[in-house]
A and B are shown apart, each in its own frame.
Chain A
Amino acid sequence: MKDFIIPGLDGAPAFSDRDFGTPARTSQRTVTLTIDGFPVTVPEGTSVMRASNTLGIAIPKLCATDNLEAWGSCRLCAVEIEGRRGTPASCTTPVTEGMVVHTQTPKLHKLRKGVMELYISDHPLDCLTCAANGDCELQDMAGAVGLREVRYEAPPQAPLANHFLRRQDGDANPQFIPKDDSNPYFTYDPSKCIVCSRCVRACEEVQGTFALTIQGRGFDSRVSAGMAGDSFLSSDCVSCGACVQACPTATLQEKSVIEIGTPDRKVVTTCAYCGVGCSFEAEMRGDTVVRMTPWKHGKANRGHSCVKGRFAWGYASHGDRITAPMIRERITDPWEVVTWDEAITFAATRLRDIQARHGVKSIGGITSSRCTNEETYLVQKMIRAVFGNNNTDTCARVCHSPTGYGLGRAFGTSAGTQDFDSVEHTDVVIVIGANPTDGHPVFASRLKKRLREGARLIVIDPRRIDLVRSPHVEAAHHLPLRPGTNVAVVTALAHVIVTEGLYDERFIRERCDWDEFQHYAEFVAQDRHSPEAIALLTGVDPQDLRAAARLFATGGNGAIYYGLGVTEHSQGSTTVMAIANLAMLTGNLGRPGVGVNPLRGQNNVQGACDMGSFPHELPGYRHVSQDATRDVFERLWGAVLDKEPGLRIPNMLDAAVEGTFKGLYVQGEDILQSDPDTHHVAAGLAAMDCVIVQDLFLNETANYAHVFLPGCTFLEKDGTFTNAERRINRVRKVMQPLNGFADWEVTQLLANAMGAGWAYTHPAQVMDEIAATTPSFAGVSYELLEEKGSVQWPCNELHPEGTPIMHVDGFMRGKGRFIVTEYVATEERTGPRFPLLLTTGRILSQYNVGAQTRRTANTVWHDQDVLEIHPHDAEVRGIKDGDWVRLASRAGDTSLRALLTDRVSPGVVYTTFHHPDTQANVITTDFSDWATNCPEYKVTAVQVALTNGPSDWQVDYARQADLSRRVLPAAE
């Protein structure tokens, strides 16, 4: 889209759309030059094109754009420089002191017109019906250079060679390549390609996938995905959209734009999928989303995206979406559509009735890591102040609760220490128990970029994840440990660092408790923690482990990124502490390029934790037993708060089975599918008298619900999400809620029906309340977010603009604590009946339980969960690729198809949990982290055998699910 923003030297709009042509440079040294008579001062290394743009003078260009390094192929950006011969390309020419540049001269005018004529002579002139009409840089440039005619004429006997005519003189045109429609979200139309190679460079530089190449030379050259014969879909393309974004023409074009037309306005908002929290512009026509494009000023993503946020938003208008409230007496009844009034009254009356019969503590609620901070805050407020107990929990319980506990103990705050930009300064990266290219794709792209610049990588994971070896990235070390042995491996890394004297004594003396360190050093130095001693247990080569430890301790800035493969273990909290130890030991905290970085699963896991979702903590991680904290809330809320911790999700289910817990409000979560040991969850839910589910779809949990309150998507409400780097990002409403109410309004309706008397009219008021009660949020307001775009907590008097990097001058808790991390084997062991270890994960195109992504075209990449099994393990069981296999543990069994791969080690099998028909959680057990009860998803002893198809349980389950989803036809 064209922009007419003139960035002035002061008062410039902070978030201009202007394309400066080449990337910004950060040199401290500056250079002053004159362009068209205007003086300008820019950092050394800046291109003439960018310098000119900072003055508001746009030099015509085609192959340059400011998120890619200059390429210099189109020659349209030629300028004249006094004292230099010829007409150098301004995109590839760096500024020099005193340079005098002219951007528009008769010579340049003529030259550019000539260049454009050549391009246009091989371009179909169907602008009026082209999807990029009005949003095409080729069109813009034809205008900018004053192109008025194309003088190339065909010689009399042969037509002009071109790429756009299907047939010429009755014969097929050998240069013509038909459109590639294979990707569900965008098309590739080679006839419109100007071979600027922006797409190729975007795929390399921004995304790091290297799926595209330019095939052929000269006039024959064309963009090609993958190998000859590949389409976009069959190539390595991961559908991130970077190439589509980069393409100046309609060659690579979103199908949604082809279908709907160009957008007329843009609203900046935040992706509602993963914890990277990418900023997007929702490009709208009326109240229809035309496309979502990554926002270049988004500080988490810096203009990049992945397939989920960029393309997979179609679920918002999927036919399965429920938009009217429904109730039923018993879960065996069909649903009855009712008014909001009836549904809310039904729910409120039932909950109060349960409390009258079974006590105040017999009900509770679950907040969502997918909802906004404001919504989460209100749900926990309702539970504490209106229900009158602390039975609030969140699905963060099942993913990152050990992070909160472990980092809280070690450093004093329950959050990652860095911003994502930090990765640009890192030299050695440990990725442990995370699979960023699938789980946190945009972070993975930023990491890969740094790795291509020379940073080194250590992967600690049972599986050979993509990062271990991918185009132009190769891990220095991959330590393929047996699932469940994280603590042993991380402690062994510390053993090497301590016994070889590689630790950072100065840092430790200054910043940590020295006595504790000495005790810790003595502990890790014991022989039983050496790589050799643990090799049998962990399966990790001791030499490799030693080399990795040395590299991390001596390779420069060291950063650790970890995911659910760390937390979802019976020793999850201990591993988090072991990671914190490792960072302190090597002095890798408190500056860019280092730190301990949990990669959060869902978009607002961080926020859900911050907002007091846990049963023992009020907002800001303050224990419910603290009188002063309760006092703050009691005064504001006008209610007496319980000072004893409430039930956590697994405890709620236990209590339900036992008969003391009877009512549950679940906002935006599907605990039946996402929580471990499905049979136990189902039994707990079935034992309750009132389950209220608020969601977009009739999810699996809703099969056990009595009240269904329709929810809305992130496109339909205002609020904030907090991503993995503690960044509070705005979510903005771009359309009215299809169900009539934003989720926070629904909570307010229920709370008020139970006597709350709330009167919020906008989430900004909720944020003000959060700021007024929670010291780390004291400075946060919607005004500040409007002005800054986003802000990282703590944001208060001490840090008015937020805190990109924590613990800069010292730890939040004072001295950092070294905590002894003894390895304890999980009780979940393999044996003759269950000889294999199952571990679970996720893949790029699907998200969590899949409720959203399964309702988009993303299913072309993953239409079912499969079981990865090593060829050896498969062979002894007679299993071939694609066979149906039965996967059984002591908790249950299910069936799915096998995929033979040596990505997993012998003895280990792996699957995802995106599809309800598979229900990998039927298999997982109720073992959990010792400190937080975070379930042990990542280790289950299993057996695998050939079978014919879905298990009886799956068939029954599907039947029961169908039954429980019946809706009575609306009464006339």
Chain B
Amino acid sequence: MSADAAKLVRMANQIATFFASQPGDIQAEEVAAHLKAFWEPRMLTALLAHADAGGAGLSPLALRAVERLRVPTA
């Protein structure tokens, strides 16, 4: 994993860790929404590319959130 990808993975996992502790069953949506609200598109693109390449290191919740990001938004 490149240094850049490793950093994005760590950041995504940190976010997922927070939302994992929150109640309810929409944690993946919340992580995705957080990423969408705070991450610049080129970071998201890099994260998606990393997920495409197997998503090494991403926590299960982070992976689920990344999948949500693929759903095109209006």
Contacts and interface: CB of A to CB of B under 8 A. Distances in A.
Contacts of B41: 644
Contacts of A660: 42
Given A819-B22, A820-B21, A651 B43 contact: yes
Contacts of B22: 819-820
Contacts of B14: 570, 824, 930
Interface in A621-651: 623, 625, 644-648, 651
A926 B43 CA distance: 17
B35 to A, nearest CB: 10
A651 B40 contact: yes
B39 to A, nearest CB: 7
Interface in B28-66: 34, 37-43
A645 B40 contact: yes
B72 interface: no
Given A646-B40, A651-B40, A933-B11, A658 B4 contact: yes
Nearest to B16: A930
B34 A645 contact: no
Nearest to A928: B11
A827 B10 contact: yes
Contacts of B40: 361, 390-391, 615, 644-648, 651
B21 A654 contact: no
A930 B11 CA distance: 6
A654 B11 contact: no
A519 interface: yes
Interface in A800-844: 819-822, 824, 827
Contacts of A819: 22
**For chain B, which range describes its interface: under 10, 10 to 19, 20 to 34, or 35 or more residues?**
10 to 19
A516 B23 CA distance: 9
B60 to A, nearest CB: 16
Contacts of A390: 40
B39 A655 contact: no
Contact of B15 (A519, A820, A930): A930
Query: Which of A516, A645, A658, A827 is packed against the most chain B CB atoms within 10 Å?
Result: A645
A901 B18 CA distance: 37
Query: Which of A574, A651, A824 is packed against the most chain B CB atoms within 10 Å?
Result: A651
B33 to A, nearest CB: 10
B34 to A, nearest CB: 7
Contacts of A928: 11
Contact of A645 (B10, B17, B21, B38): B38
Contact of B7 (A625, A645, A926, A932): A926
A570 B18 CA distance: 11
Nearest to B24: A519
Contacts of B23: 516, 519, 820
Contacts of A932: 38
A931 B4 contact: no
A358 to B, nearest CB: 12
B7 A654 contact: yes
A338 to B, nearest CB: 34
A855 interface: no
A616 interface: yes
Given A654-B4, A820-B21, A930-B17, A645 B37 contact: yes
B39 A645 contact: yes
Interface residues of A, number: 35
B18 A931 contact: yes
Nearest to B39: A645
Nearest to B15: A930
A926 B11 CA distance: 11
Nearest to B13: A930
B21 A655 contact: no
Contacts of B34: 931
Contacts of B10: 827
A821 B20 CA distance: 11
Contacts of A645: 37-40
B42 A655 contact: yes
Given A616-B37, A623-B37, A930 B18 contact: yes
Contacts of B18: 573-574, 822, 824, 930-931
Contacts of A391: 40
Nearest to A520: B23
A655 B23 CA distance: 35
A574 B15 CA distance: 11
Query: Which of A574, A647, A930, A932 is packed against the most chain B CB atoms within 10 Å?
Result: A930
Interface string A130-142: 0000000000000
A198 B11 CA distance: 56
Contacts of A824: 14, 17-18
Contact of A616 (B7, B15, B38): B38
A206 B69 CA distance: 56
Contacts of A646: 40
Nearest to A660: B42
A657 B15 CA distance: 24
Contacts of A655: 42
Interface string A903-932: 000000000000000000000001010111
Query: Which of B7, B14, B37, B40 is packed against the most chain A CB atoms within 10 Å?
Result: B40
Given A658-B4, A926-B7, A625 B43 contact: no
B27 to A, nearest CB: 12
B54 to A, nearest CB: 21
Nearest to A644: B41
A820 B23 CA distance: 8
B19 to A, nearest CB: 10
Interface in A923-950: 926, 928, 930-933
A415 B44 CA distance: 29
Interface string A326-343: 000000000000000000
B12 to A, nearest CB: 10
A312 to B, nearest CB: 37
Interface string A847-860: 00000000000000
A529 to B, nearest CB: 12
A570 B13 CA distance: 12
Contacts of A648: 38, 40
Interface in A665-699: none
A96 B54 CA distance: 84
Contacts of B37: 616, 623, 625, 645
A391 to B, nearest CB: 8
B39 A361 contact: no
A933 B37 CA distance: 13
Nearest to B7: A654
Contacts of A926: 7
Interface in A250-307: none
Contacts of A519: 23
B15 A931 contact: yes
Contacts of A616: 37-38
Contacts of A821: 21
A581 B11 CA distance: 25
B42 A361 contact: yes
A525 B33 CA distance: 29
Given A615-B40, A931-B38, 15 more contacts: A390-B40, A623-B37, A645-B37, A646-B40, A655-B42, A657-B4, A820-B21, A820-B22, A820-B23, A821-B21, A822-B17, A822-B18, A824-B14, A824-B18, A930-B11
29 contacts: A361-B40, A390-B40, A516-B23, A570-B14, A574-B18, A616-B37, A644-B40, A645-B39, A645-B40, A647-B40, A647-B42, A647-B43, A648-B40, A651-B43, A654-B4, A660-B42, A821-B21, A822-B17, A824-B14, A824-B17, A824-B18, A827-B10, A928-B11, A930-B11, A930-B17, A930-B18, A931-B18, A931-B34, A932-B38
User: Can you list the 6 inter-chain pairs with the closest CB atoms, starting with the nearest?
Assistant: A822-B21, A930-B14, A647-B40, A519-B23, A644-B41, A930-B18
